[in-house]
Amino acid sequence: MVEYTLRFSERHAYDSFTTGITIPAVLKTGGNKVELLAKIDTGAEDCLFERAYGEALGLQVEAGVRKSYSTANSRFEAYGREISIHALGTETTATVYFYADTTIHRNVLGRRGWLDRLRFGLVDYDQLVYIDGYDS
């Protein structure tokens, strides 16, 4: 039997009673920063945040690159801006997206810009996330 082993430098215990796997994350751009709670989402193509956080960072959200997303039964629009994400001891810089619709209140750390920069382990039974930089 082949065994696979991964090593991680960080471990985070998350609250299993919160919807989704929720972790604190700090968004930074141009000297501004805001800390929020985001859900780790392997099904999300990009990192997506509430529009209000973009505005809190002083961004003109709609000046970003517009992108359309599909969901299971609908679609939505978002605008991309390059910012830094600090979460669980790592920092990545990537284009993240802010919802055009102010009524969407869901922050997700998705694949591009976050998961694709990391090694990521999850043991939901123990409510533990393991994480390290991809090249660490």
Which stretches of the chain bind other proteins, using CB under 8 A? 4-15, 17-20, 22, 24, 26, 33-37, 41, 43-44, 50, 52-53, 55-56, 69-72, 86, 88-95, 105-106, 111-113, 116-119, 121, 123, 125-127, 130, 133-136
Tell me the three-class secondary structure of 95-123, residue by residue: EEEEECCCCCCCCEECCCCCHHHEEEEEE
Here the tokens at position 125 are: 């039974």
We find the least distance from the C-beta atom of residue 101 to other proteins, in angstroms, to be 13
Alpha helices (H) along 48-109: 51-56
We find the least distance from the C-beta atom of residue 90 to other proteins, in angstroms, to be 6
Q: Give, for 126, the enclosing helix (H) or strand (E).
A: none
Question: Which is it for strands 75-87 and 22-29: parallel, antiparallel or unpaired?
Answer: antiparallel
We find the least distance from the C-beta atom of residue 110 to other proteins, in angstroms, to be 9
CA atoms of 83 and 13, how far apart (whole Å): 26
**Distance linking the first and last C-alpha atoms of the chain:** 27
We find the least distance from the C-beta atom of residue 41 to other proteins, in angstroms, to be 8
